[in-house]
Amino acid sequence: MKELDMNTRSLLALAEELECRVMLDEPLDKHSSFHIGGCCTAMIDINSPDNLSQLWEETNRLGIRTMALGNGSNVLFDDRGFDGIIFLIGSSMDKIYMKDDNIIVAQAGCPLLKLCRFALEHSLSGLEFAYGIPGSVGGAIFMNAGAYGGEIKDVIKLGRAVDREGRQFEFSNEQMKFTYRGSRFTDGNELIVEGEFELPSGSYDEIQDKMVDLMSRRRDKQPLNMPSAGSAFKRPKDMFAGKLIEDSGLRGFSVGGAQISEKHCGFIVNKGGATCSDVRELIRQVQEKVHEDSGVMLECEVRYIPYQE
């Protein structure tokens, strides 16, 4: 275990005063859908927006490297881990409630599955596309998650976030500056606290049927039984990354324990014992081969988190 410096010990003491669970030398493969990564210096399980504000302000005052983590479904941690503090925004911050007849408020740690089922319970439509995306509300807003023709930007009304000084702000849909798999939050200057989703009323049965259909399509086409980070590459304009990879003869191609899925070429899976280095080298070789064959340079969608800045 790495010896903690005075500033880190001070921060962790504050976290314990705020009744946040602190985990030292926490293995990150437990918090990544890839099941890859070394240990972080410490992980703090955030239990409220106010405590997040206080702790993030303190980390910045003390100059401690910090990042927020939700379900870990779109990240690739370094084999050496993360030299810093990770704020876990998960089940301790996953409250969800109705603000009025058509607006759901969900905290950043709320799983998308829970949000989608909550919308179904209230016969609210529009989130069906997200049913089965293995992420949290915070992560979905962060990267404007989408599938089957829908995106978070289509359904979110407001986002709330904390800046580096610990101040909480509200952002309108437009102010969140959504792009394809991105938003204003990807620069790391604000941490997402919660989102408000404005949804039209619909038929319970029709919403449920669409959710069941999309989940069935995911199971049929995607390697959900193997560790991965979802789609490995962003979709090029008017093309499909998986098709380009398949056309380059890379179905099943592997580097170490990392493999282009036999089931869906747009996915990189951990077939057993894959390292971060395996995944990154596989990405590099796929990009090189596809570019050579098609002239298209695939852009990686998975966020690589280095050990040190």
Catalytic residues: 181, 231, 301
Classify residue 1 by burial, with Cβ atoms within 10 Å: 0-12, 13-18, 19+.
exposed
- Cα-based distances in Å from 108 to 44, 169, 187: 15, 14, 17
Question: Which DSSP category does 233 fall into?
Answer: B
- CA-only gyration radius of the chain, Å: 20
Q: How many residues does the chain have?
A: 309
- Per DSSP, the residues of 156-189 read EEEEEEEETTS-EEEEETGGG--BTTB-GGGGSS
Q: Are 140 and 133 in contact (CB under 8 A)?
A: yes
Residue 292 three-state SS: helix
What's the rounded Cα separation, in Å, for the pair 23 and 12?
9
d(CA 94, CA 137): 9
Rounded Cα gap, residues 291 and 40, in angstroms: 35
Q: How far apart are CA 87 and CA 59, in angstroms?
A: 11
For 117-137, give one letter per residue: b (16+ CB within 10 A) or e.
ebbbeebbbbbbbbbbbbbbb
